[in-house]
Chains A and B, each alone.
Chain A
């Protein structure tokens, strides 16, 4: 049973550029949440997607956007990258009826220079 997968593993971008991160949920899961984990911190909730729509959003600017596809996979897009966007980006999947039980992928390490 494949768990949550994310790509790419690592990414280096320059300030002002745009980036797209990808996530495939665990089999049987229909809900995807994205978190940002800065160095030495706990993960912070960015947003959640269900039925191809953004359902909940944390305290992140509009530069952060996402998408969910019919197969439940998801993308996280970040525009106009800032140095402060450097972090580990974690994708978590869950079943809508057990949304509290979230399973995390290995993350994408984004470095902005």
Chain B
């Protein structure tokens, strides 16, 4: 079964600092991987996706993620955090045979002044 593991349920960074949110996947086939963001009392917004094209994927709001097969990782980064980035971030893997997304447990990003 395909799964993702997010390391760190809470991450706190200063405004302007680098954001690094970690995600490792487990998959027997080449995975499709995603990062979603969830603001309080809202649904999920797609940040970026990896679908076996370029390994460095750029998304919205200045975020990017790099697919590393050797490390089974798909970490999310942003060079400079902004207060508006404070939210819950979810990594997910798509299982084609079941037509579903399997999500990690999420990482809450806090941005301080």
Contacts and interface: CB of A to CB of B under 8 A. Distances in A.
A48 B100 contact: yes
Contact of B45 (A35, A45, A104): A104
B77 interface: no
Contact of B104 (A6, A35, A42): A42
A100 B106 contact: no
B49 A43 contact: no
A35 B92 CA distance: 13
Contact of B105 (A4, A42, A107): A42
Interface stretch (B36-44, B66-74, B79-87): B36-44
Interface residues of B, number: 24
Contact of B100 (A41, A56, A90, A101): A56
Given A41-B105, A42-B90, A56-B99, A104 B43 contact: yes
Interface of A: 4, 6, 31, 33, 35, 40-45, 48, 55-56, 58, 90, 92, 99-107, 109
Interface of B: 32, 34, 36, 41-46, 49, 51, 90, 92, 94, 96, 98-106
13 contacts: A42-B103, A43-B103, A45-B100, A90-B43, A100-B32, A100-B34, A100-B96, A101-B49, A104-B43, A104-B44, A106-B42, A106-B43, A107-B42
Given A33-B100, A42-B90, A109-B41, 4 more contacts: A42-B104, A43-B101, A48-B100, A106-B43
